[in-house]
Every structure is written in structure tokens, then in C-alpha cells.
Amino acid sequence: MQEITQLHAIFDRTRGYINSFMGVIQPIIDAATDEHTRLYYHHILEEEEQRMGRLQELVPHLEKLSSGKSLDQLSDRDLSQMLSDVNLERFGLHNFREHLELSLYEFKDDETRQLLDGMREKTHTDYLTVKEIMANMSQRFSDAAHPDLTDHDEGHDIHQVDHLKASASAPHGVASVIKHSAPAVSGKKGLTVGSLKGM
């Protein structure tokens, strides 16, 4: 049950981070003088709002599991749904970290940048922890398949990049930010969100 307690703490913390982040970027949307900036940050805001909606259901469920029955007592269907939800939020942590990185190119005041960078660092650590927990849980509960736990950071080691320094020296504005794209899909067959729901 320690893993479930860890997951609960991580995703509960993430809810707080998302609230803070949305409070930081909403004024940009409200004050945007061009449509590109408004749409860019509105898109990010909508993604995080959708994720917040999922977390509002997942966090209480994990809290209940952490103080109740063990995972071994869950039905296959309930276990599959829980693993599916957690794996989806693992991707959510990765995307949230990238949203925080992108926002560092917009903000130039030290206080906001330190806040965003602190959330980014902790989110990255949480992402790796959830990835490890998912690997351990899938080995225990999956006989045939394991989740594709690619961290989507090939060629992008977060600890080799000083994002505060890199974004501070970059040209100001959204148009100068590196293109935000979805990670490449691995050809390996694994335990995915779709396959979990089909179990």
C-alpha cells in the first residue's frame, strides 16, 4: 500500500501545482494583445483544466485505497481501471512539466520564474517516481504484458539543461519558443491505457 500512498501524495501535490500554474497564466490570456498568444496559453490552460478534472476523481480514489483494502483484493476490472488512470496521469505529469518549461520563456521576473522552475523540478521527480511505481506494479499484476514506460525524454535530460538560464537568454515571447509537439510513439507493444481498459 506504500505505492498507493506515494501516488496519492504525488497527484494531490500536482493538483496544487496546477492551480498555481493556472493562476499564473490566466492573466496572460486576459491581457493578450495578439490572437496567437491568447490561443497558445488558452490551449495549455484547457489541457490542465481537463487534467484537474481527472485528478479530482483519482486523488480521492487513491486516498480511499491507501487506507482500505490492498491491491490484491481489487477485482481485475478495478485494478485495470486504476492502473489505466495512473498511467494516463503519468503522461499528464510529463506534459505538465513541459508546460512549465515553456512558460519559463514567457516570464522574466525572478519570483515567478523561481516558482515555475521549482514546480518543474518537483514534477519531473514525481514523473520518474510514478514511472518506477508503474513498472513495479505492472510486473506484479500483469502476466503477459508490461506498460510502455518510455520517459519521452530521449535527448532531453532535464538535469543537463539549466532551463532558467536557457529561457532567460532566449528571445521574449511565445513565438520564439521551441515547437511543442507530442512524443513519438514507440513501435513496441506494451500495456497501454487502451489495452488496460480492454482487460
Stretch (H or E) spanning 126: helix 110-141
Q: Is 182 helix (H, G, I), strand (E, B) or coil?
A: coil
What tens digit of pLDDT does each residue of 24-62 get? 999 999 999 999 999 999 999 999 999 999 999 999 999
C-alpha separations of 50 from 43, 165, 166 in Å: 11, 31, 29
Q: Above 80 in pLDDT, residue 73?
A: no
Nearest to 100 by CA among 186, 164, 49: 164
Q: Is 76 helix (H, G, I), strand (E, B) or coil?
A: helix
All domains of the chain, ordered by start, with CATH? 1-142 (1.20.140.40)
pTM for the full predicted model: 0.75
Cell of 166: 536557457
Contact, 76 vs 109, CB < 8 A? no
